[in-house]
Amino acid sequence: MTAPTWTVHVDSGLCMGSGICAGAKPGVFRLDGPAAEAAVDQLAPDEAVLDVADMCPAGAITVHDAEGTEIGPRP
């Protein structure tokens, strides 16, 4: 059985390049010019990644579970 994985996406059209995500989870996010991007294609479930999605000032980060359901940012 494979471990559950999440995917992370940063909408470069919404991202304002604050760097909060890259500072909080540098293994998952990185700044690429004026916007952030996901540094990984998939990752193990991690509450801290949901926290980062929640605190993104532009609401540019989405997190999906293995079934493709959006789980972050949380309401």
Predicted local distance difference test score (pLDDT) of residue 61: 98
Residues 6+ away with beta carbon under 8 Å from 24: 48, 51, 52, 55
Residue 1 falls inside a structural domain: no
Residue 68 falls inside a structural domain: yes
Report yes or no: 35 and 12 within 8 Å, Cβ to Cβ: yes
Residue 2 falls inside a structural domain: no
State the DSSP code for 17.
-
Residue 37 is part of a domain; what is its CATH number? 3.30.70.20
- pLDDT tens for each residue of the chain, 75 residues long: 567 899 999 999 999 999 999 999 999 999 999 999 999 999 999 999 999 999 999 999 999 999 999 999 999
Residues 6+ away with beta carbon under 8 Å from 40: 8, 27, 28
Instruction: Choose among 6, 7, 15: nearest CA to 60.
Output: 15
- Give the domain extent around 21: 7-72
**d(C-alpha 7, C-alpha 66), whole Å:** 8
Name the domain count of the chain.
1
